[in-house]
Amino acid sequence: MEKKIVQAHIECNSTGFYTIYCEEDFPFGFFGEGYTAEEAKKDFLNVFKRMRDRHFKQTGEFVDAEFTFVYDASAFLQHYKGILTLSGMSRMTGINKAQLSQYVCGKRHPSARTQEKIRRSVKNFAEELSHAM
């Protein structure tokens, strides 16, 4: 199997614990978890390597992949809460601050439409910043 690029989805629960998984079909299961997004990414990659090596020893088939990490809205807001304030995110996205707070805490989950609105707003902000200096 040749190396492929795979999206790994980062989620965050109501206690602030991160989980990472991918929907891509692999001949073995794996996921990562941690108290921070970085800790979960490290765990995810380590588990993948261990499972890949075990699979190779058992079958002789080497599976390789490169992962791009994609945050769901709750995980994104939780991960960047020390950098982006809820008031600022509210102004940027047009989403009520209280509603954003519920996403951060995991009390509510944004709809696909709201997630896209957040993603688009953050992307536009990042593009604006990249041209500001």
pLDDT tens digits, one per residue of 63-112: 999 999 999 888 888 888 888 888 998 998 999 999 998 888 778 888 98
> pTM, whole model, 2 decimals?
0.76
* pLDDT score of 4 more than 70: yes
Return the DSSP state at 114. H
For residues 25 and 6, the answer to whether their CB atoms sit within 8 Å is: no
User: What tokens appear for 7 in the block?
Assistant: 């999206």
pLDDT, residue 2, reads 63
**Could you tell me if 79 and 12 are in contact, meaning their C-beta atoms sit under 8 angstroms apart?**
yes
Would you call 130 helix, strand, or coil by DSSP? Answer: helix
